[in-house]
Amino acid sequence: MYSIIDIETTGNGVEGNRITEISIFKYDGHTIVDEFTSLVNPEMPIPYFITGLTGIDDDMVRNAPKLAELIPKIVEITNDTIFVAHSVNFDYNVIKNEFKNLGHEFVKKKLCTVRLSRKLFPGYTSYSLGKLCTALNIPLKDRHRARGDAHATVLLFEKLLRAEGATAVFKTFLNSKSQEATLPPLLSRNVYDDLPTKPGIYFFKDSKGKIIYIGKAINIKKRISSHFYDKSEKEIKLCREIAHIDFELSGSEILALLMESAAIKHYFPKYNSAQKRKSQQYGIFTYEDQNGIKHLAPNKLKAMPNALATFYSISECRNYLENVCRDFNLCPKYCHLQEGVSTCSHYSIVNCEGICRGKENALDYNLKVENAIAFMQTKKENFFIKEKGRTLDEDAIILIKDGIYNGYAFIEKQSAITTINDLEHHIKLQSDTIEVQQIIYSYLNKNSNNVYSYQDGVIVS
């Protein structure tokens, strides 16, 4: 026995979603044996865009029964039945959550007519209820109202039951170990079965092939499965759109983290909230003015090449420059820590030796600037990290040059790598970002044995 169900809601996610209309058809596999349809007072305002979609407004539900009043009838009509719906996890989870909030349990076996249709009626460009009904000549009246959609789902379900191979498919879907009920409605089971259990990154794509989420994992298949069991509002919305999954192996967690960060900043998927914004980078630069005086100045990294030092916020950049200015007795005016002044008068840097007041000659001042530049350049680190590759026959390399992340490479163990030039031929160039720096230096604190330094292009350890 089946309960074929459709609900209309306030559209406020899963946990905040309240039912505004419910329709249930009790179906024995041949005929409809019972029916229950009712508007529901959600006890909250219905958003305008929901009214525009369903036609259900606050006036229509004001005198309708509250869900608590309908629970006995819902329990009665669904007793000892299998819960059936189009994109079943949405309807099921909303009802289950509403019941839970009212102190009741709602636990049923589930069948999804989207997943069943993809299996038994393959090849359609869309498996939305409206387009599927059109393709299969199923009458659909009162679209986006609970009874109209539920009745169309009954007719669709009847066709599915009588489709070639239906018995085996239904048996598989109802098998508690099959995971069919938890997979996203648009996702092919074959795609899920082919997922690896190794480290890497994965790409969730919608029905148009657009990347909507990128994640990383030590075990790709296990991590992806956790999305399907997560009942948070964001995860349920995400899973309803997943139609395909691609992946790239990384060999190790740090490579997965670096690959994920780069991919998110390249594709900007709508469900990735972290790392979406491209972080602005700043640098310290030097130039000589028409009076022969050397300046140090902060600026955006993209505005000027060959930075002496790189930072990920203007405050971090200025704080560093203040320390250099103070330590080398430089002038705040010529370090551009004060602008539009004839002589410096910095609140904390008071050891300027007079270049801005004509009391120090340019040659002496420039020598101090050159010493400061040499200090900044010697502080830059040169090393690479060697990690496990994607196979037993390769290593993964992460290259840091002059303190900047250059990129990564997967190199066969048999390759003869003795200099950084040898290594750079293999490197896939990447952008250095604040997230990347955090990933790398967090790794270094725990994995110093995998770090190799080099000097003058020669690997020394």
Domain ranges across the chain: 2-174, 189-267, 282-378, 383-459
pLDDT of residue 336: 96
pLDDT of the residue at 389: 95
Q: What is the pLDDT of residue 458?
A: 67
Q: Would you list the DSSP string of 127-195?
A: -SHHHHHHHTT----STTSHHHHHHHHHHHHHHHHTSTTHHHHHHHHH-TTS-TTTS-TTS-HHHHHT-
Helix %, strand %, coil % of the chain (to 5): 35, 20, 40
Q: What is the mean pLDDT of each run of 10 residues along the chain (461 residues)?
A: 96 77 96 96 92 93 96 96 93 92 93 94 91 93 93 97 94 76 86 95 95 97 90 82 96 96 92 69 92 95 81 86 95 95 92 95 96 82 91 93 89 83 89 84 85 74 56
Look up residue 92 and give its amino acid. Y
- The rounded distance, in Å, linking the Cα atoms of 55 and 46 is 10
> What is the DSSP secondary structure assignment for residue 302, as one 8-state letter?
G
pTM, whole model, 2 decimals?
A: 0.65
* Strands 82-85 vs 2-9: parallel, antiparallel or unpaired: parallel
CATH assignment of 189-267, among 3.30.230.10, 3.90.1150.10, 3.40.1440.10, 3.40.1160.10:
3.40.1440.10
- Which positions ≥6 away from 201 have C-beta within 8 Å? 214, 215, 216, 217, 247, 248, 250, 256, 259, 260, 263
> What is the structure's pLDDT at 102?
94
Q: What is the pLDDT of residue 249?
A: 97
- CATH of range 2-174; options 3.40.50.620, 1.10.3470.10, 3.30.420.10, 3.40.50.1820: 3.30.420.10
pLDDT at 386: 93
Write down the pLDDT at residue 442: 84
